[in-house]
Amino acid sequence: MSQLICDQYVLENKIELDYTEEIIELQNENHEELMAFVKKFYPHYFKNRTPELGRYFGIFKDDKLVAVTGQTMQMNDMTEVSAVITDTNHLGKGFAKQLVAFVSNTIFEDGKTPFLHVAENNLGAKKLYEKLGFDLRGKINLWGVKR
């Protein structure tokens, strides 16, 4: 069994941001590329049907997916921002910032509040989320069970 301690963040207000990249909602025809992209950077994060849990959005460069963010866990009043992943060759270009803002704002448009979980030691991501206006709400322990 393995433990992952995460910080939970909640966003109370829409994010005001000028988007410089085209953000595309990924469709069924993007499934294979999405799966290969996530597997490249986080090999154990997705299962084949994980994209069915919500909506995913991406940024493409030269017809290649280079950054992705999704919406997964959905409750009556809240929806989780998840799978914030940028290709390591495209870090520092503001792709994650734009995707998190875009996805969070679509959650607000649906009348819900965005929240997310991030590993407590992922300081770069936490700094981004706080800069975008997310507030730390607490810690959550996730356990992995292997068969």
Note the pLDDT tens digit of each residue in 16-74.
999 999 999 999 999 999 999 999 988 877 888 888 888 999 999 999 999 999 998 88
- Count CB-CB contacts under 10 A for residue 101: 24
Torsion (CA) 61, 91, 7, 76 in degrees, nearest 10: -10
Any idea where the domains of the chain sit in the sequence?
Answer: 2-144
Architecture of domain 2-144: 3-Layer(aba) Sandwich (3.40)
Note the pLDDT tens digit of each residue in 76-125.
999 999 999 999 999 999 999 999 999 999 999 999 999 999 999 999 99
Whole-angstrom distance, CA of residue 44 vs CA of residue 108: 29
State the first-to-last Cα distance of the chain, in angstroms, to the nearest integer.
9
What pLDDT was estimated at residue 46? 81
pTM for this entry: 0.92
